[in-house]
């Protein structure tokens, strides 16, 4: 079974600061997803990364994928309070099975 680990599990950061969330996975995968979940709400798709070296950016969030290292990062630039949420990475395999990480709970402090 594919294992997906995220770190940190909890992140408290001040507005305006930068930080990176890491997602490691245990076996070869050809696709990686990042989702956002607000408290009591469902998951919202942020990024889909399909190839080694893929980089995608949306606003203050940038995601990258290194398939050789089995690592994806979600970089937050100049955090604002609206980014407070839980962020999940999910890895898909060739059997179309998806495995989610445990999530990173982000709190941005004014």
Partner 1 sequence: EAGVVQSPRYKIIEKKQPVAFWCNPISGHNTLYWYRQNLGQGPELLIRYENEEAVDDSQLPKDRFSAERLKGVDSTLKIQPAELGDSAVYLCASSGDGFFLEQYFGPGTRLTVT
Judged by the rule CB under 8 A, the positions of this chain that interact with partner 1 are 4, 31, 33, 35, 41-45, 48, 50, 88, 90, 92, 95-103
- What lies within 8 Å, CB to CB, of 42 at 6+ separation is none
State both tokens at 35. 């989702």
Distance CA 69, CA 24 (A): 8
Distance CA 22, CA 88 (A): 10
- Of residues 43 and 62, the one with the C-beta less far from partner 1: 43
Least separation, in Å, of the C-beta of 96 and partner 1? 6
- Of residues 42 and 68, the one with the C-beta less far from partner 1: 42
DSSP state of 91: E
Least separation, in Å, of the C-beta of 97 and partner 1? 6
- Of residues 37 and 73, the one with the C-beta less far from partner 1: 37
Q: How many CA atoms lie within 13 A of 42 on its CB side?
A: 2
- Of residues 15 and 38, the one with the C-beta less far from partner 1: 38
Least separation, in Å, of the C-beta of 40 and partner 1? 8
Least separation, in Å, of the C-beta of 51 and partner 1? 11
Distance CA 64, CA 16 (A): 21
């Amino acid at each position: 079974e594919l294992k997906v680990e995220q770190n940190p599990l909890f992140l408290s950061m001040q507005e305006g600061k930068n930080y990176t969330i890491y997602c490691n996975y245990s076996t070869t995968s050809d696709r990686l997803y990042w989702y956002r979940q607000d408290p009591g709400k469902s998951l919202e798709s942020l990024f889909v990364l399909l190839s080694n070296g893929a980089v995608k950016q949306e606003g203050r969030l940038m995601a990258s994928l290194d398939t050789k290292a089995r690592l994806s990062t979600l970089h937050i630039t100049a955090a604002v309070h609206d980014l407070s949420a839980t962020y999940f990475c999910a890895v898909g395999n060739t059997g179309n099975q998806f495995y989610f990480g445990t999530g990173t709970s982000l709190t941005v402090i004014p």
